[in-house]
A and B are shown apart, each in its own frame.
Chain A
Amino acid sequence: MTATDTPTLDDVPEPAPVDPNAVSITINGRAVTARKGDLIITAAENAGDYIPRFCYHERMSSVGMCRMCLVEVDTGRGPQIMPSCMFPVSPDMKVYTDSPVAKAAQEGVIELLLANHPLDCPVCDKGGECPLQDQSFSHGPGESRYVEEKRHYEKPIPISDLVFLDRERCILCDRCTRFADEVAGDALISFTHRGNLTQVNTFPDEPFASYFSGNTVQICPVGALTASPYRFKARPWDLQEAESTCTTCSVGCRTAVQSTRDELVRYQGVDSDPVNWGWLCDKGRFGFESVGSDDRLATPLVLTATGHQPTSWNSAINSTVQLIKDALAAGGPSSIALLGGARGTNEDAFAFARLAHDVIGTPNVSSQLVDGLPVGVLGLPRATIDQAASAKTIILLAPDLKEELPVLYLRLRDAVEKKRSKILEFTSKGSGLTKYAWKTVYYEPGTQADAVTTALADPAIAVQIASGDVVVVAGRANLAESSAPTIAALNVLLGAIPTASVLPALRRGNVVGATQVGIRPGAGGLDSRGILEAAAHGSIECLILLGSDPLSDVPDADLARRALAGARRIIAIDTFVNDSTALAHVVLPAAGYAEKIGTTTNLEGRTTSLAQKITAHGTSRPDWMIAGEIARQLGTDLGFSSVADVTAAIATHVDGYDGVTTNALAAAPNGVIALAPSIDRVNTPTVDLGDRNAYDFRLVVSRKLYDAGVAVAHAPSLAPLAPGVAVFVNPLDVTRIGSSIGAEVTVSSSTGRIVLTLRADASVQRGSAWVPFNQPTSAAGAVKIGDLIDAGASVTDVRIESI
């Protein structure tokens, strides 16, 4: 051990404790302490010396492809030129990032990279935010000795429905192909024709149809990859940006929301270490199109004899208040119910929870739509995404995370690929994580509790579970089941593994936040199914739909129809007219994403701030403001005159949210964890599977990433990606049906009968049938899968017959 400097006599006599992970190096003549294992490029950046780079990306493995990060390094064997992204620091290493030799190397690399680059910056979307452009200025020679003809390729070729590839601009840095392979697990693009003609390409007729394709556009260090929703829409210097959180699903990825001329044009992923690591799914990334849709509701509507008529806010609020007063007079407070709130901010949810619980006085409030889990799951010991992605064992009792919570899928996939975790999956249909799972236990829908009991008795599984911490990802895997079988299985798991914590895989953007701040049944109140049944029986005088569309989202279509027909008055607060709001007596236009500030809480309880970037569409207002106005006219002042007032009220009044203040959020971009200690954990419900007829198929209904929901249907780039509806069975079951693949078949259950196309899918288990939920169908032949589902039954059995 040698000291790096000689202490003088009057210096501190006792030596400082030696940090075993500290490595002393010299960067550009300055002594720097780096961490053991740091790459030179990272150590230099931490020390304030930025080394230029194209291929290096901190969330992916180093490959040393572009050679841009060459620096001069002396490890005691004399100076050498080294790619700094490939070498970790070693003791007493001397690094020179801008010595004449290093500069000459970097300039040479730029000159070579530009030898074939077309320099069409004036017409390139990347111009202005292009690392190649920037580093050509900062680290390039300024001129080229190459006079030869450049390499030519067909100008941009579509490599998927969303992404274009310009091979002339490509500098072959391997970022997109590495992302596709290492991060997304969809290696649908690869270097082909390696040699003089190396290019990135897909296999013929097999497009780069990854749910994560937009990330390659974001990390491309040149303009080679462009995404169709943003192409030629704006120049980087005309963009304004605000950091926010994506609320498309409940993962809560941090985003940079970018607009120009008061119009959203792009979202970029922001690297939030505990959540998304900079990645976004394509549904979240391109969802801005739905915010700017021309179909948005711009003015309040009231129902008249001739249908919905636009009206003023004053008259709409008056009508709303009158509807509520009439309902109170007719049936009392508990005849009023509120469904929804999971699409807005915590502030929106809290204001409406106050309105419902305190002003109106009804306990019948729910943020879910019969498609989630009882709110009690939020009272279980909660895991964070980081804890899940570092747990020894991750137990999946959840829907296909790749389809419903895509970035959580990336994090868990990474945990498996880096050998931190093993996945034990319980499912009735193969999922996106099945090929990464250590063990997949297939169960027949409804029997998951038995499957869990059997699995836990397996010695190998017992050893694995005993080897360390366990996180259970719990959600509603099958909409054709009630939530009871999942809860029963979850309780078996938690009973057997008392130390396990739970990550609730509930789907809607702010469902956890809305539920925690108060949109949940009060004492003796009805849950979402109870509310709909009460409405169907005619005992709901007024139903408030807060950004919810029961006709599309409730699995039991018949129940939803009867409920909306049975509710005497319907008030809707929404951004679009949808099937349900079309029936409302008053429709109030709500401000959408990036049109209002506030906070949101993701599935871990992480509460982050949402930014406003554009003016709210038309005359639409944030929900909290609408709630405050209704409350005032009902005689109670909620005391909210700004969002900050509501945020402060949440911090004061809601258990677990005392740390969520505007100041705390400003100081913590990664958010503050807010849990709900006061929610009771859930009881074990009874599961009644009924008789199993050997001729029937047991139905699995689950969501695909792209469906007929508003975020996709109103986004022109995403809407065509919805796969459409069909019934899928195991290939070995096709002959049993007596029909053939591609033929129309009738699918009938005890509640209904629909006609679907028959398809085969090996991920569907024998004896079960899978149908994707809420897929777009033609208006003429509208097919509602929900017609087959009875919310009161534990499972759904269907008969599939050829026509």
Chain B
Amino acid sequence: MARLSEDNVRIALEIIGRYPRAKSATIPLLHLAQQQDGFVTNEAMAHIGELVGTTSAEVLGTATFYEMFKFEPVGKYLVNICGTMSCALLGAEALMHHAEHTLGIKAGSTTPDGLFTLEHAECQAACTEAPTLQVNYRYRFRVTNETFDQLIDDLRNGRLGDEIPAHGTVAKIRQRIPADRGVGAVAPEDVTEPPAWMPAPQAQGSTS
């Protein structure tokens, strides 16, 4: 908990190395922190500030812009039910009632066993498949009460472990770019000439 673990600090330094300015790594590091603890802790934000050379307040300011960073513990499975137009027309509200009833919680809260958090979501950009929901941002389309119950049952019994990892996991396989494979970050102020692949500008005649 709390600050980034030693292993994650190693990954963090690798991520920072990809950017000409350390500050640019703030958001990837917030993802890393969320992967570690399931949500972004204050201690992790302070640690990220130290790593990228900004104040904790700046990290907080950046992090709180994003809905998908959570600052309080959420369940292992974050269930977002879309309530925007197409889904609303196709029964999202009834689905939400059903979900609340099935899980025994109101939208915006977490089950006592810490397994599920239920949330309203805005458009998930899959209107042809309405109503939709996401579990840890993995889609489920044309959800009915029955498929919802089945989904919860599968998650409870760990049958979707491969497909839906715990909340905070951005990708199951983390891209690693060892130092010797990186192309090297160049700060914008150090760029003196156009990149090699860019064609030389053509001489232009006077336009007036």
Interface residues of A (CB under 8 A from B): 181, 186-195, 201-206
Is residue B45 within 8 Å, beta carbon to beta carbon, of the partner chain? yes
Complex CA gap A195/B64 in Å reads 9
Complex CA gap A201/B63 in Å reads 13
Scan B44-78; emit 1 where CB is below 8 A from any A CB, else 0: 01100000001111111100110000000000000
**A189 lies within 8 A of B57 (CB):** yes
**A203 lies within 8 A of B65 (CB):** no
**B42 lies within 8 A of A204 (CB):** yes
**A190 lies within 8 A of B61 (CB):** yes
For A201, list chain B residues within 8 Å (CB). 57, 60
Q: Which residue in A187, A189, A194 is a CB contact (below 8 Å) of B65?
A: A194
Known interface pairs A203-B42, A203-B46, A204-B42; A187-B58 also in contact (CB < 8 Å): yes
Which of A181, A189, A201, A204 gathers most chain B CB within 10 Å? Answer: A204
**A206 lies within 8 A of B57 (CB):** yes
For B45, list chain A residues within 8 Å (CB). 203
**A195 lies within 8 A of B55 (CB):** no
**B57 lies within 8 A of A202 (CB):** yes
Nearest residue in A to B189 (C-beta to C-beta)? A419
A193-B65, A206-B46 given. 9 additional CB < 8 A pairs?
A187-B54, A188-B55, A189-B57, A192-B57, A201-B57, A203-B45, A203-B55, A206-B55, A206-B57
**A192 lies within 8 A of B55 (CB):** no
* 5 nearest CB pairs, A to B: A190-B61, A203-B56, A194-B65, A190-B57, A203-B57
For A194, list chain B residues within 8 Å (CB). 61, 64-65
Give, as a whole number of angstroms, the nearest-CB distance from A495 to chain B. 35
Complex CA gap A191/B57 in Å reads 8
8 contacts between A and B (CB under 8 A): A188-B55, A188-B57, A190-B57, A193-B65, A195-B65, A203-B57, A203-B59, A204-B42
For B61, list chain A residues within 8 Å (CB). 190-192, 194
Q: Which residue in A187, A191, A204 is a CB contact (below 8 Å) of B55?
A: A187
Known interface pairs A203-B42, A203-B45; A193-B57 also in contact (CB < 8 Å): no
Complex CA gap A203/B59 in Å reads 9
Interface residues of B (CB under 8 A from A): 42, 45-46, 54-61, 64-65
Give, as a whole number of angstroms, the nearest-CB distance from A731 to chain B. 14
Q: Which residue in A181, A192, A206 is a CB contact (below 8 Å) of B64?
A: A192
Nearest residue in B to A197 (C-beta to C-beta)? B64
**B60 lies within 8 A of A203 (CB):** yes
Give, as a whole number of angstroms, the nearest-CB distance from A396 to chain B. 22
Complex CA gap A187/B53 in Å reads 11
For A192, list chain B residues within 8 Å (CB). 57, 60-61, 64
For B59, list chain A residues within 8 Å (CB). 203
Complex CA gap A186/B57 in Å reads 10
Known interface pairs A203-B46, A203-B55; A190-B65 also in contact (CB < 8 Å): no
Complex CA gap A205/B60 in Å reads 12
Which of A191, A192, A201, A203 gathers most chain B CB within 10 Å? Answer: A203
**B56 lies within 8 A of A206 (CB):** yes
Give, as a whole number of angstroms, the nearest-CB distance from A794 to chain B. 37
For A181, list chain B residues within 8 Å (CB). 58
Nearest residue in A to B46 (C-beta to C-beta)? A203
For A206, list chain B residues within 8 Å (CB). 46, 55-57
Complex CA gap A473/B64 in Å reads 42
Which of B45, B57, B58, B61 gathers most chain A CB within 10 Å? Answer: B57
Give, as a whole number of angstroms, the nearest-CB distance from B184 to chain A. 23
Complex CA gap A707/B99 in Å reads 61
For B65, list chain A residues within 8 Å (CB). 193-195
Complex CA gap A757/B74 in Å reads 42
Give, as a whole number of angstroms, the nearest-CB distance from B65 to chain A. 4
Complex CA gap A63/B168 in Å reads 34
Nearest residue in B to A192 (C-beta to C-beta)? B64
Complex CA gap A187/B54 in Å reads 8
For A202, list chain B residues within 8 Å (CB). 57
Complex CA gap A189/B58 in Å reads 7
Complex CA gap A374/B55 in Å reads 40
Complex CA gap A191/B54 in Å reads 14
For B56, list chain A residues within 8 Å (CB). 203, 206
Nearest residue in A to B42 (C-beta to C-beta)? A204
Complex CA gap A188/B56 in Å reads 7
Nearest residue in B to A204 (C-beta to C-beta)? B42
For A191, list chain B residues within 8 Å (CB). 61
**A193 lies within 8 A of B64 (CB):** yes
Complex CA gap A204/B60 in Å reads 9
For A186, list chain B residues within 8 Å (CB). 55
For A205, list chain B residues within 8 Å (CB). 42
Nearest residue in B to A206 (C-beta to C-beta)? B56
Give, as a whole number of angstroms, the nearest-CB distance from B189 to chain A. 9
Nearest residue in A to B66 (C-beta to C-beta)? A194
Give, as a whole number of angstroms, the nearest-CB distance from A102 to chain B. 32
Give, as a whole number of angstroms, the nearest-CB distance from A198 to chain B. 9
Nearest residue in A to B61 (C-beta to C-beta)? A190
Nearest residue in B to A177 (C-beta to C-beta)? B61
Nearest residue in A to B63 (C-beta to C-beta)? A192
Nearest residue in B to A190 (C-beta to C-beta)? B61
Give, as a whole number of angstroms, the nearest-CB distance from A113 to chain B. 21
Give, as a whole number of angstroms, the nearest-CB distance from A208 to chain B. 8
For B54, list chain A residues within 8 Å (CB). 187
For A203, list chain B residues within 8 Å (CB). 42, 45-46, 55-57, 59-60
Nearest residue in B to A181 (C-beta to C-beta)? B58
Q: Which residue in B42, B46, B58 is a CB contact (below 8 Å) of A190?
A: B58
Give, as a whole number of angstroms, the nearest-CB distance from B188 to chain A. 14
Complex CA gap A203/B56 in Å reads 6
Give, as a whole number of angstroms, the nearest-CB distance from A191 to chain B. 5
Complex CA gap A186/B54 in Å reads 10
Complex CA gap A186/B60 in Å reads 15
Complex CA gap A187/B59 in Å reads 10
Give, as a whole number of angstroms, the nearest-CB distance from B68 to chain A. 13
Give, as a whole number of angstroms, the nearest-CB distance from A445 to chain B. 29
Complex CA gap A201/B58 in Å reads 10
Complex CA gap A188/B57 in Å reads 5
